[in-house]
Amino acid sequence: MKNAHNITDRFTGSVIFTAEIQVADDAPMALRLGAATAVAIAAKADLSGADLSGADLRHADLRHADLRHADLRHADLRHADLSGADMRHADLSGADMRHADLSGADMRHADLRHADLRHADLRHADLNCADLRGAKS
């Protein structure tokens, strides 16, 4: 069944993108948010400042995505392609990023506390001033 799902700004709560997604009515919110994010990325939407906390983004194609200041706390980013993504000042605390491709990603000043980065590709990623306390690598 087709449903509309809004992606909101983490600071103001205002809607920054509405996606028509095809998911079951009883699908978990994490899956709905992940599907909406995929639609937004395909539409080249600006997701800076987006509230994507807890989103199921496993295997998502987020190459070169603008995720500055985005809230990705506890997001499931396993095997996601975030190569070249702009994640400056993003909150990725507690995110599961195992096996993610973060090559060339700009993660300056990102909050990666307690994130799981095991087996992630961090080649050429900029982690300058990122908070990595408690992160697994």
Q: For residue range 47-105, list pLDDT tens digits in order.
A: 999 999 999 999 999 999 999 999 999 999 999 999 999 999 999 999 999 999 999 99
Q: Identify which of 114, 12, 122, 10 has the alpha carbon closest to the alpha carbon of residue 69.
A: 10
Give the separation between CA 39 and CA 88, rounded to whole angstroms. Answer: 22
**Residue 124: per-residue pLDDT:** 98
Q: What is the pTM of this model?
A: 0.95
The residue type found at 27 is A
In the chain, % of residues over pLDDT 70: 99
Q: Which long-range contacts (CB under 8 A, 24 or more apart) does 25-29 make?
A: 25/1, 28/56, 29/54
**Residue 25: per-residue pLDDT:** 85
In sequence order, the β-bridge partners of residue 19 are 5
In sequence order, the β-bridge partners of residue 81 are 61, 101
Location of structure tokens 């699908």:
27
Give the separation between CA 12 and CA 81, rounded to whole angstroms. Answer: 28
